[in-house]
Amino acid sequence: MNKTEARALPTAPPAGSPALPVRRATGDVRRRGRPHGRPQTKARILAAAEPLFLEHGYRATTLRAVAAAAGVDSALISYHFGSKRGLFGEVTQIQCARALDLTRAFTGDRDGLAERLLDLVTELWDEAEVNRLAVENEEVMRVFREYLEGEVLTRLAEYLGGHGATRRALAAVTLIGGLIFTRYLNPLPLAAALPSEEIRRTLAPALRAALAPTVRGPRTARATRPGV
C-alpha cells in the first residue's frame, strides 16, 4: 500500500570500508559503545514511535522506521523494549491512560447517569487518538476488554446496586462497547458523523432502559422505582 512513504532506509552503501562510522545528517558521528551524557534514548524512541503507530498502524510501522525517526539503531528497540510488541505496549499504555477514566460519570445522581456516561465517553474518545491503532492489535483489544469488564462493568454494578445489578451493568456495557466500537474502533460513517449531542439523544433511551431495574414478578407494570 503506502510502502513508498514509510521507506527511509537505503540500507547503507554496501561497498567501501566496512567499519566506517555512519555520519548522520546533523553532522555528529555515531560511534559504537555507550555514548556520553544521558541521551534519554528510551523516551526519544517512544516519542518517535507514537505518531508512526498512530499514522500507519502497528503492522505497517517497521522498527527500522522508528529507529530512523528516533535517530538510533534499530537493535536498540529490542534492547530497551524487548520486542516490537513491547514497544507498542508502552506506547498504547500511554494512549489508553488518557482516555479510559470514567470516574467523572460515577459522581452524581442516579437519574442523569445515562446521559453523563454517554457524554463522557464521546468527549474522551473524540479527542483520544487510540482510534487508529486499536483494532488491529490484540494487545490493545486485551486492554480494552479488561477495561470494559474490570473498570466499567464492575464499577457500574457497584454504583447501581440492587437486584440484578450485574446484569444491568452488562447491558449498559454492551451498549457503551457498541458505541465505542461503531464510532471509534471501526467507525460506521453514520455513527462517526453524528455530533455528541445527537449521540446522547439517540442512545439515552436505550441506556436508560438498560440501567433500569428489571421487573421481578411475572407481569409488573413499567414503573421505574428510583431507589433500587
Partner DNA sequence: GGTTTTATTCATCACCGTTGAATATCCGTG
Partner DNA sequence: CACGGATATTCAACGGTGATGAATAAAACC
Burial class (CB in 10 A: 0-12, 13-18, 19+), 130: buried
Yes or no: say if 69 and 118 are a contact pair by the CB < 8 Å rule.
no
Instruction: For the CB of residue 138, give the shortest distance to a copy of itself in the complex, in Å.
Output: 6
Instruction: For the CB of residue 133, give the shortest distance to a copy of itself in the complex, in Å.
Output: 11
C-alpha cell at position 213:
431495574
C-alpha cell at position 184:
471509534
- Other Cβ atoms less than 10 A from the Cβ of 29: the count is 10
How far is residue 106 CA from its own chain's centroid? 21
Rounded-to-integer distance, Cα 60 and Cα 137, Å: 12
Does residue number 187 form part of the binding site for DNA (CB under 7 A)?
no
76 binds, among DNA, a copy of itself, none (CB under 5 to 8 A by kind): DNA
Instruction: Return the residues of window 169-208 that contact a copy of itself according to CB under 8 A.
Output: 170-179, 181-182, 186-191, 194, 198, 201-203, 205-208
Q: Go through 45-75 and write b for each residue having 16 or more CB atoms within 10 A of its CB, e for each that does not.
A: bbebbbebbbebebebbbbbbbbbbbbbbbe
Does residue number 74 form part of the binding site for DNA (CB under 7 A)?
yes
Find the length of the chain.
Answer: 228
Single residue of 148, 156, 160, 165 touching a copy of itself by CB under 8 A: 148
Number of residues that bind a copy of itself (CB under 8 A): 43
Comparing CB distances to a copy of itself, the nearer of 22 and 221 is 221
DSSP state of 194: S
Which range binds a copy of itself by CB under 8 A, 25-33, 71-79, 92-100, 139-147? 139-147
Cα dist from 115 to 112, 119, 167, 210, whole Å: 6, 6, 19, 13
114 binds, among DNA, a copy of itself, none (CB under 5 to 8 A by kind): none
Residues that bind a copy of itself (CB under 8 A): 135-138, 141, 144-145, 148-149, 153, 166-167, 170-179, 181-182, 186-191, 194, 198, 201-203, 205-210, 212, 214
Which spans of this chain sit near DNA (rule: CB under 7 A)?
Answer: 6-7, 9, 11-12, 18-19, 21-22, 30-37, 39, 41-42, 61-65, 72-80, 83-85
